[in-house]
Amino acid sequence: MNILMIDDDQDTLAELRDILEEDGHEVQTAGTLADALQRDDLSAFSLILLDRSLAHGAGDRHLLRLKASAPDAAVIIITGSADLDGTIEAIRLGAVDYFVKPLQPEWLKVRLRRIIEMREAGQRVAHVERLATMGQMLTVLSHESRNQLQVAMVCLELLALEVAGRPQALETVRKIERAHQHLLQLHEDVRGYAAPVQLHRERHDILAIVLDAWNSMLPLRKGRAARLNLEHDGNPLCCAVDPPRLEQVFRNILENALAACADPVEITCGLGEVEFDGQRTVQIVLQDNGPGLSREQKRKIFDPFYTTKSNGTGLGMVICKQIVEAHGGTIGVESAPIEGARFVIHLPNVEPPREPDRTTARARLPAR
């Protein structure tokens, strides 16, 4: 979090800076309110800690000016003496909290975490609302645009028949067809990204869904040396999931692996029951033997419209993340112990606990 502290007590500023930077926050300081208001980057701060008893006037009297210059920043008032009227007035003017000196480091950290969680929750709600609006617009546009794209494809097919004996003209038609297919895929991806994820859950074995995704890619694997290696304990691992939507997640990751890897392609899928974030989950690890992901790719892979493919839409992994999170799970990319991309998915496990099988089963599925 980017934090600005406004206080004329240098000892307090130093103490607060140490506490906040220890937790990884970026901290800037100002000795007076005038210094703070003159900053060109004031609107970039997520949190402002404001001393109520500044030498040039009570800080909470200037809250409205401060909020006008940094409307998205949460403001916390800090004071050496607590009084109910002062607290009420600060909250009325837009402060989100009110601390009394001397500050207790652990207490401050807890309150900041609460503010961060509230801001993230608000951002998630705003994101959902934006997606809902996009979905409504795309629903209106989808029918007509789909019809026009289908008309264009029929015309291209007829044109290809007309120029069948003219190779150069036919190649031009094929290029237009490829561009048309890319536009159609972009249309479908944007529609899928904007529409809320609707799940039809049933209790299903996760391994079976992985295999369905792999088998559905037989045309893509034709003529290639590609194998899926399974590592699991041989017991069913079931979750309450929407099988087609979850298959979409696995298929997207597997397709990316096939596109990134040179033959022979080795993809390993490890499945197991683990405790993650305080709950029992099924963990699915998908790792390939390709060149791996750069630091930038790892950071941006779930960002909308980010892609390194010449014909990619940059929405495949974003939609995967939406589907997994709609299931109450998580998806992330990790550094692989060897070369290759490594995706880790956790899904809540609804099955009762069972004794683990000490024997690890490994299956190798050759490309067909």
In a domain, 120, yes or no: no
- For residues 114 and 166, the model is more confident at 166
- Asked if residue 356 has a cis previous peptide bond (ω within 30° of 0), the answer is no
Residue 187 has φ and ψ, to the nearest 5°, of: -60, -45
Per DSSP bridges, beta strands 265-276 and 226-232 are parallel
pLDDT(365) > 50: no
Same domain, 45 and 150: no
pLDDT at 219 over 80: yes
Q: What is the count of structural domains for the chain?
A: 3
DSSP for 136-176, please give it: HHHHHHHHHHHHHHHHHHHHHHHHHHHTTT-HHHHHHHHHH
Maximum average pLDDT range among 95-109, 143-157, 176-190, 317-331: 317-331
**Final residue before a domain boundary, out of 194, 223, 241:** 194
Q: Kindly report which listed range (101-105, 200-204, 215-219, 265-269) carries the lowest average pLDDT score.
A: 101-105
Cα angle: 111, vertex 116, 121; to 5 degrees: 125
DSSP 8-state code for residue 63: H
Residue 122 lies in a domain: no
Which of 145, 166, 194 represents a domain boundary (last residue)? 194
CATH no. for residue 349?
A: 3.30.565.10
Q: Is 113 within a domain?
A: no
pLDDT of 247: 92
Cβ(241)–Cβ(209) below 8 Å:
yes
- Note whether residue 334 is domain-resident: yes
Examine the domain organization and report whether 287 and 335 are in the same domain: yes
Burial class (CB in 10 A: 0-12, 13-18, 19+), 180: middle
Within-domain flag for 298:
yes
In a domain, 290, yes or no: yes
Q: Which two tokens stand for residue 315?
A: 């929405």
Q: What is the CATH number of the domain that holds 83?
A: 3.40.50.2300
Residues 277 and 354 in one domain: yes
Residue 102 tokens, joined = 């001397």
Residues 336, 214 share a domain: yes
Q: What's the rounded Cα separation, in Å, for the pair 221 and 263?
A: 11
Give the tokens for residue 191.
Answer: 């529609």
Q: Are residues 273 and 316 in the same domain?
A: yes
User: At residue 27, does pLDDT exceed 60?
Assistant: yes
Residue range of the domain that includes 250: 202-365
Q: What is the pLDDT of residues 47-82, one digit of tens each?
A: 888 777 654 445 456 677 777 777 778 888 777 666
For the chain, the average pLDDT equals 78
Single out the residue of 146, 170, 149 nearest to residue 159, CA to CA: 170
What pLDDT is stored for residue 250 in this prediction? Answer: 95
Q: Does 134 share its domain with 95?
A: no
| 110 inside domain | no
**Numbers of helices and strands, H then E, in the chain:** 11, 15
pTM, full prediction: 0.52
Say whether 149 sits in a helix, a strand or coil: helix
Query: How far is residue 200's CA from residue 142's CA, in Å, rounded to a whole number?
Result: 23
Residues 318 and 215 in one domain: yes
Q: Is residue 139 part of a domain?
A: yes
Q: What is the pLDDT of residues 91-140, one digit of tens each?
A: 677 777 777 777 777 777 777 777 777 777 777 777 667 666 666 666 65
Q: Give the pLDDT confidence score for residue 258 in this predicted structure.
A: 92
Residue of higher predicted confidence among 338 and 202: 202
DSSP-based three-state secondary structure for 23: coil
Are 188 and 228 within one domain? no
Instruction: State yes or no: pLDDT of 89 exceeds 90.
Output: no
Domain boundary residue, one of 161, 194, 227: 194
Identify whether residues 29 and 152 lie together within a single domain: no
Do 75 and 6 meet the contact criterion of CB atoms below 8 Å apart? no
**Straight-line distance from the first to the last Cα atom of the chain, in angstroms, rounded to the nearest whole number:** 51
d(CA 226, CA 47): 51
213 lies in the same domain as 354: yes
Instruction: Let me know whether 167 and 238 are in one domain.
Output: no
Looking at the predicted structure, is the pLDDT value of residue 297 above 70?
yes
Residues 360 and 230 in one domain: yes
Q: Tell whether the model's pLDDT for residue 266 goes beyond 90.
A: yes
Better-scored residue on pLDDT, 240 or 183: 240
